[in-house]
Amino acid sequence: MARKIVAGNWKMNLLPDEGYQLIEDLSNFCEGNKLDNVEVVVSPPFIHLAKAAEMTAHSKLTISAQNCSDQLSGAYTGEVSVEMLKAAGVNWTLIGHSERREYYGDTDEFVNGKLKRTIEAEMTPVLCVGEVLEDRKAGKQEEVVASQLKGALAGFSADEVKNMVIAYEPVWAIGTGETASPEQAQEVHAFIRKYLTQTYSAEVANAVSILYGGSVKPENAKEIFGQPDVDGGLIGGASLKYEQFVKLIEIGQEVL
């Protein structure tokens, strides 16, 4: 069965001291509560990662990067390799977030290269996919998501895909306050699972966690997390506030 995950993506927010305080508080929360149903992951900016990983080395809180290089090492100014992440104690990373795709040119091919590095390094990648508003209006969400999955997963074996996490994040629902309805989320999640079944196997489809992302808040999480093909959330804005994120973890623990 797919793992249940509540993940936070801090994006380019929180200065180091604010970030470390939040890590400490979340780590204490995870230790103090019986979280036998959900895994909790947070993705701080690169500069916080090494210390955050050190702080959580013996905690149930998992630290993830937000991105990694598609190259192993060398003259790639501004990039961070998977080896560097691993050396810092970070074993997870988001890949292909829509903000990377939109502002920094992460094409499906590029995303595929980054995924290759993470799988070689035995890391857990969270592959992000999702359609823009125009595609949703044209009813092309499944077509877009299928094409992103095909491009990103090209060349991977079923066993390799089994170790990935997928996040469905409709771009029109990110940071906009507009959430996909639980039915809309379920529809695309079910489609992703069907895609994985048809392309790989039912075993792979059932092993891959599919997270929903896009304006998830304590007020709407119960219904979204309650959908049969939703295995958790990738949360932006609400992961920056301790009370809100903890509430989402509690809802995840109860509903997922």
Specify the residue, 208 or 234, whose C-beta has the smaller distance to ligand G3H. Answer: 234
Specify the residue, 27 or 215, whose C-beta has the smaller distance to ligand G3H. Answer: 215
**Is 97 a catalytic site residue?**
yes
State yes or no: residue 175 binds ligand G3H (CB under 6 A): yes
Residue 151 is assigned to a ligand binding site: no
Residue 171: partners with Cβ closer than 8 Å, 6 or more residues away: 98, 102, 130, 131, 132, 133
**Cα(152)–Cα(8) distance, rounded to whole angstroms?**
22
State yes or no: residue 67 binds ligand G3H (CB under 6 A): no
Considering the candidates 39, 99, 131, 169, report the single residue annotated as catalytic: 169
Helices within 62-167 (DSSP H only): 82-87, 98-104, 108-120, 133-137, 141-153, 158-162
**Cα(199)–Cα(202) distance, rounded to whole angstroms?**
9
Residue 175 is assigned to a ligand binding site: yes
Question: Which of 234, 248, 251, 256 contacts ligand G3H by CB under 6 A?
Answer: 234
Kindly tell me the sign of the dihedral angle through the C-alpha atoms of 227, 181, 106, 197. Answer: positive
Are 136 and 96 contacting, i.e. CB atoms less than 8 angstroms apart? Answer: no
Number of residues engaging ligand G3H in binding (CB under 6 A): 14
DSSP state of 210: E
Which position's Cβ is nearest ligand G3H? 236
Binding to ligand G3H (CB under 6 A): which residues in 72-111? 97
Kindly tell me the sign of the dihedral angle through the C-alpha atoms of 89, 47, 212, 147. Answer: negative
**Is 169 a catalytic site residue?**
yes
Specify the residue, 9 or 91, whose C-beta has the smaller distance to ligand G3H. Answer: 9
Report the nearest approach of ligand G3H to the CB of residue 141 (Å): 16
Specify the residue, 7 or 205, whose C-beta has the smaller distance to ligand G3H. Answer: 7
| 206-to-154, 238, 251 alpha-carbon distances in Å | 20, 28, 22
Q: Which residues are annotated as a binding site for substrate?
A: 9-11, 175, 215, 236-237
Catalytic residues, by residue number, are: 97, 169
Q: Which residues are annotated as a binding site?
A: 9-11, 175, 215, 236-237
Q: What is the binding site for ligand G3H (CB under 6 A)?
A: 9, 97, 169, 174-175, 213-216, 234-238
